[in-house]
Structure 1
Amino acid sequence: MVTGTEQAPAPATQGADGGDVPSARQITARRWKASRSILAAALAVIVLGLGLAALRPSGSAQAGDPESPTRRGTRALAEILRGHGTPVRVSRDAGDAAAAATAGTVLIITRSERLTRSDIARLQGVQADLLLVEPTRDVLEALAPGVEKAGDTFEETAEPGCPLQAATLAGRVDFGDSDTYTAPAGGTACYRDQAETDSRVYRLVQVRAGERTITVLGSGTPLTNERLDEEGGAALGMNLAGARSSAVWLIPDLPEPGSGSEEETLTGLLPLGVKLFFLQLVIGVVLLALWRARRLGPVVAEALPVVVRSAETVEGRARLYRAHRARGSAAEALRAGARERLVPLLGLPRSAADDPASAREIVTAVAQRTTYDEAMVGVALYGPEPADDGQLVGLSDLLDDLERQVRTS
């Protein structure tokens, strides 16, 4: 006995073969049990993606800006260089920076993701030494030949471990999240990633290209106002940026909307890690689909779990029509069914049942084979909407009588 607010479990119905048919609640529970592993896997992928995004510090429009006093700016380093007698010219246009970067100058490039291909082409011809801070792959290939990006590391501090004087004088440096590189033959590499099994992966690489010295720095964190006084960040920044008599600091403005539309594609702008993530996601989805897919085989006949009598279907639809007082729809359904059954008996094509142009022909043929005149037959097969339920019932009886007389004539 069920009391209070308790409810008895929904009983299972019996099918035509006498077996129990699961209730809607049981079916829902089975579907949830079958799909929860898929939902859990999708949720895990989403959480993993959010976690990886959270591990990388958020960017700032003023990051690496030598005129910005914010935490991510580099104004302190620029002022220190000026205080030690190294003039620093800040440029926000690649063409202007290329013109100002002469021999005996260090060209510092930050926020290289804002450079277009035409900007990179202008910078390839400068005679000044280059200091590339977190360069993109395109900038790295064009301005630092032979240096290849290896990946990134979350190991923050590192020792120089190299004979480069700028690094040995600075000593231990806190890089934070940093890109890593491999050095070509003849290059100098410093601050090796201890967590990487490959001993050739470094945070700082310096190479010679003709009369120029090109230095690639994997992180701009030790140069920022917030971290400049930590470890040997200030010394490393001064030794690299102040290696010549003057410095030109290029931090490009954002390109005009549409200016790079013909130079970069969406896939070209996506980092390699993002592409690999989506590739792994696609492979995982395909493997999951293959695992969950059913094997193709011959068609197997199965007994229906429930047998529904046609009369119940008709009664159910009739109740819906009645609940919405849709006498017009009900009458049209009755007339359409009657016409479809009558036209084969009259020797007319089945398409004539729904063809308005054949209405007169159908009405005449039915009137000739019944006791009703054409006016009554026309009202029965193509008449107006019944005014009440009584007229709808009368229409149903009239259509039945018409069909009966046509069959027996």
Structure 2
Amino acid sequence: MSTVAPPTAAGPTAAAPAAAAVGPPTAQPGGHARARRRRPWFPVVAVVVLLASIVLLVLARSTTSALDLSPDNPQPGGAMAAAEILSREGVHIRTVRTTDDAIALAGPGTTLLVTATNELTGDQLSALRGTQADLVLTDTAYAVGLDALTSAVEPDPAGSRDAVTAQCADPDAVAAGRISGSTGGLRALTDDVEVCFPAGDDAGAYAVWEQDGRTVRALADSSLLTNARLAEDGNAALVLRTLGHHDELVWYLPTPGDATGASAGGPQLLPPEAGVVGLQLLVLALALMAWRGRRLGRVVTEPLPVVVRSAETTRGRGRLYRRSRAHAHAAAALRAGCAHRLARSLGLPRSAAAGPLLEAAARATGRSEDELGALLYGPPPTDDAGLLALAHTLDTLESEVHRS
């Protein structure tokens, strides 16, 4: 049972330090309690931040793409301008990426736009021929296997870099007047094909004909649809009239995976929302790390209950060395300390190598460098007597240097 000394003449002023020495300050438990009371609010804040980030990611998610000839691509190679105008005129556009989806949506009273006919195989072209929708084909100038879809025209590499006029009776071509050139062309194989915008001998940039009870229109150069070229000459009139014959337009963007009969690779293996979900999971992981991670505050100083003298620490370490018979370790410590003190006494840097140290010590003591090298860097002792002898020898060496 502890006793408390009566107050001295100093009064409350002297009693305050004594009270502080008896136990820890009373403010610390209260601070920890307040910290514990505040801690449950952190998960709530983390959840709120997570939900807010999810909302921002969903709202900021881009509704555009970078795919060539895509109706939602505002870049020069996209076709967003044509799609926007068609939508304002009441044409409902549905974008598909595979042949199966195109066949499923294309039917009587619709227009099926194939933006890259040259990327489709003969089997895919044959499957598209079975639909009852009006067809609009692009990039037909270099299509391989076009005969699987039609026997009315064939590709022709002839083209024109200059603007060409319609020079035909088709109403859409006549309304356009002229287009700003074409890469490649189409050649008619039957008399019922109307070829417009001559781009070479018997070849034109645009062709239209009737086949299987529906109308087929073909553009040799798909770049006429792009945002970069739509406003040139009569490109917009030709494109919009060609695609706007029906209220339903199926916009088919063939993919490389679909064109080879394989599944699309790369990012197409994931749904469009995969990126947003991934960012949400990342934010959640960061919130959990911040919540459950170790939080280190500022360093708290505390008076030591016992003051340990350096000499006692040295003697305690020596006893540990002796108990474990670590003669080599103890000898290395003695030699390192002696070398450090010798270098300081001789005016050498602390990081001085063995050679300069031995040379300076030999000049100061008159001993040979070999003798000093064996003393400072020789083999360690194997017993207590050898360790004691080494300590005395090192002490004598230091005294000789100091004496000099």
Bin for the TM-score computed over the shorter chain: 0.3 to 0.5
User: Rg bigger for which structure?
Assistant: 2
Q: TM-score, normalised by structure 1?
A: 0.45
